[in-house]
Chains A and B, each alone.
Chain A
């Protein structure tokens, strides 16, 4: 049984790493802009559809696709910020929530209208290749996607720590008024944050897509999962997104084995609620904003 245990654990970690990348954008948006981005998963859904259609027409393998997805969704993030989100910043919290929920519903309806309710599948060119671990095999897709996710994640982390803009962003998240006072161009910080967050989530969604499916309502599931991960790890904490992602990935993998595949998301939810009972700020959370 140990061989199986190891394999399940490994699977959980590999998926969890991609989850971390998926959700880190949301934690950034929460930390810096303080917007409840309910349409976060739906933009990921759009990224997955983008992958699907690009693959459909050009048969491009997954990794070159990323070089298109990242800049494209950086741009998409900038546009959404400029056109929509910037106008929401000064509005009351309820307006922000309602608007983002509305955006989410709009995107779902748009996807349903354009592409119908059929489930689609994104293929990874590594699908048929396996690596033997213990008693079984793991598809190379999981391993390579995990490595890619970690590369992006690490790159993002270093960018946040080392570059001027990264520091400006972290400063704005910690204390907006003080950041303004030190001359940081807060509008630029918001714009860049939203753009980067969108682009990161799009890359995460692309890496996640071959192990999942593409459909107009995938966004809701992904938004929920991302929220769960970042609240678990602590709102606004990038390291927390990594820890949260890994925990959720591992919990899902084990419950899929011990219980059944249908309840794995339920199990993750229960663990999530359990941890929040004891640590309402999340595992690495700094402050709770209302």
Chain B
């Protein structure tokens, strides 16, 4: 009977149960330890760090560097317990084929979760295909041309304004306030300039068919940039309004060559870019007085979130951020918002979060953000500024359009050269 404490079978069962319990506990522990704690989310940042566009891209680069630093300093990715947002920098040298190989490397070797880039429209268009292929989302940094979001790619998102709405706001200004009878456009011949030319021409043909197009010509930025022939054509065409799509060096050469060849036009309006760079005003001085510059945003933007970023940039670097830099700040806001919403370094989850982005009016740096089926922000718009003398007598950009954001009224036409260059 029960003379012993346990029978042989009871002992055997007890041992088996204990062993099974131990094995179960051990394996449960092992698998729970294997579940990774996310320490960082890697963002592939690609833009021109050297090469012909680098000088002009540096303001945007500084903005992006500042934003990454600040974000981590304020506690990193909160939904992942303070994980670090790690930028992995790559240099495309302003060259689309270089951009493609760098992004391939960022995705396949560095294993980044999302790509942020590439500043120029040419490179961004090229890398969009790569991101689409690997199903890694691309948040467009600053690049303008709508070609980028018209290729049918799902993984491309652009929070800032693109060509069509920008052209709408800009051309509305031109027709309503400058009232030209003749119009011309000179543009650099990469994707950016060429797209500007195409879209603005289509706008004119549709919305202002009575305005006569007297010159619509592209030029090459291969050094040494010589615009003599082009300026002579402008002089002969005599437009009332001259549209210009130029990066920095060519913007400087254009203004100087126009002066040298005594080519006067009553109104010049630029598609941002080179004309928004502080170096432009420094190099051409008073020749720029009265030039209109359409832009993503100026530093007198009254939105509170915009002023936060603008002042932070000024405090860190000692000068006001350019429109390109502010567009990049808006892009960055959407990027980190999506990563926070996704709470994961998984590109697919970040893609889903980007699709569902819904940044409200009071939060958005430049505007609220919600994406349409192309990946463009339905709320984005653009401004027009004019280079005028500040109260202290310095040349600066002042927002003049849309009228509800204008800080100054416009002066038109441009002064003749002798008067422009006179000391006040």
Contact = CB atoms under 8 A, between A and B. Distances in A.
Given A4-B232, A117-B50, A118-B52, A212 B261 contact: no
A262 B226 CA distance: 8
Interface in A109-129: 116-119, 128
B223 A262 contact: no
Given A117-B50, A215-B223, 13 more contacts: A7-B261, A116-B50, A118-B50, A118-B54, A119-B52, A136-B260, A136-B261, A257-B228, A257-B229, A260-B230, A261-B219, A261-B225, A261-B228
A198 B228 CA distance: 32
B254 to A, nearest CB: 12
9 contacts: A4-B261, A117-B50, A118-B50, A138-B260, A256-B228, A258-B229, A261-B219, A261-B228, A264-B226
A119 to B, nearest CB: 5
B97 interface: no
A261 B224 CA distance: 9
A135 interface: yes
Contacts of A138: 260
Contacts of A212: 223-224
B75 interface: no
Interface in A204-248: 211-213, 215
Nearest to A253: B228
Contacts of B227: 261
B260 A257 contact: no
Contacts, number: 56
Nearest to B285: A128
A139 B256 CA distance: 10
Q: In the A-B complex, list the 5 residue pairs whose CB atoms are closest, starting with the nearest.
A: A261-B226, A213-B223, A136-B262, A136-B261, A137-B260
A30 B222 CA distance: 32
Contacts of A256: 226, 228-229
A122 B226 CA distance: 16
A72 B135 CA distance: 57
Contacts of A118: 50-52, 54
Interface centre among B220, B223, B230 (most CB of A within 10 A): B223
A11 to B, nearest CB: 8
A258 B229 CA distance: 7
Given A116-B50, A117-B51, A262 B222 contact: yes
A130 interface: yes
Interface string A121-152: 00000001010000111110000000000000
B260 A119 contact: no
B93 interface: yes
A211 B219 CA distance: 19
Contacts of B54: 118
B405 interface: no
B259 interface: yes
Nearest to B260: A137
Contact of A137 (B93, B224, B262, B285): B262
Number of chain B interface residues as a range: 20 to 34
Interface of B: 50-52, 54, 93, 219-220, 222-230, 232, 259-262, 285
Contacts of A4: 232, 261
Contacts of B224: 211-213
A137 B220 CA distance: 24
A259 interface: yes
Contacts of B52: 118-119
A126 B157 CA distance: 47
A4 B222 CA distance: 25
B51 A260 contact: no
Nearest to A116: B50
A256 B225 CA distance: 11
Contacts of A213: 223-224
Contact of A261 (B230, B259, B260, B261): B230
Contacts of A116: 50
A219 to B, nearest CB: 14
Contact of A117 (B93, B229, B259): B93
A135 B228 contact: no
Contacts of A7: 261
A50 B52 CA distance: 20
Given A118-B52, A136-B261, A260 B93 contact: no
Contacts of B220: 261-262
A213 B249 CA distance: 11
A135 B262 contact: yes
Nearest to B284: A128
A116 B222 CA distance: 17
A179 B216 CA distance: 63
A55 B54 CA distance: 20
Nearest to A255: B229
A4 B260 CA distance: 11
B260 A130 contact: yes
B232 A257 contact: yes
A176 B224 CA distance: 41
Nearest to A256: B228
A137 B54 CA distance: 31
Interface string A1-34: 0001001100000000000000000000000000
Interface centre among B51, B54, B93, B232 (most CB of A within 10 A): B232
A65 B232 CA distance: 35
A264 B227 CA distance: 12
Contacts of B222: 262
Contacts of B230: 260-261
A1 to B, nearest CB: 10
Nearest to B252: A121
Nearest to A218: B223
Nearest to A264: B226
A136 to B, nearest CB: 5
Contacts of A128: 285
Contacts of B262: 135-137
Nearest to B95: A117
Given A136-B260, A137-B262, A261 B229 contact: yes
A133 to B, nearest CB: 10
A150 to B, nearest CB: 22
